[in-house]
Amino acid sequence: MTTQLDKSASQPVVWKGRHVWLRRLRGDDAKRYRAFHEALDPARFDRHAQTGPPDPDAFVGTLGSDDRDILVAAVVNDERGASVLGVARATRRGDANTSEIAIVLRPDVEGQGLGRLLMGWLINHCRDCGLRQLVGQASLDNRRMIELAHAFRFVDAPAGGPGVVALRLQLQRPIEEE
């Protein structure tokens, strides 16, 4: 029998010698999320991605009210308190079985494996929620994201325009336990 992942569950991981929690964003994360959002460079957001980090004002009003949006954060507790290092987001499309995904990291932690941890958590969570397909887009010059997606077995799909690669992952149902 397969058990569905608790939507409030946290997964502790050790990343770069630090304890990091991978978990859904909660209402009490609003201040931490605002600080994370302010640390991002808007010029670096992938202009082709339809799904990115939500505006902090929109985040506070909609968090937890809708299962259409799954927001997963990598949260670390250190001497300065808790802070958000990165966010992965899956937004359901009109087709209830498909979500568009995006991952955004603070610039100081990019390229260090945190995106891989968030991607794995998000894929497992989406599969456990019954989604059948994940899709995303990246600029051709966003090699890290494309390589990460390919490492998780995303395949290239027809792109929406020049300079863009579309990515798709068919999720398989977990094998039923006896």
Q: pLDDT tens for residues 1-31?
A: 233 444 456 889 999 999 999 988 888 888 8
Those residues of the chain that have pLDDT short of 70 are: 1-9, 43-67, 160, 173-178
Q: State the CATH architecture for 10-170.
A: 3-Layer(aba) Sandwich (3.40)
- The predicted pLDDT at position 142 comes to 87
Average of per-residue pLDDT values in the chain: 80
CA gap 39, 37 in Å, rounded: 5
Dmax (CA) for the chain in angstroms is 50
- The predicted pLDDT at position 46 comes to 54
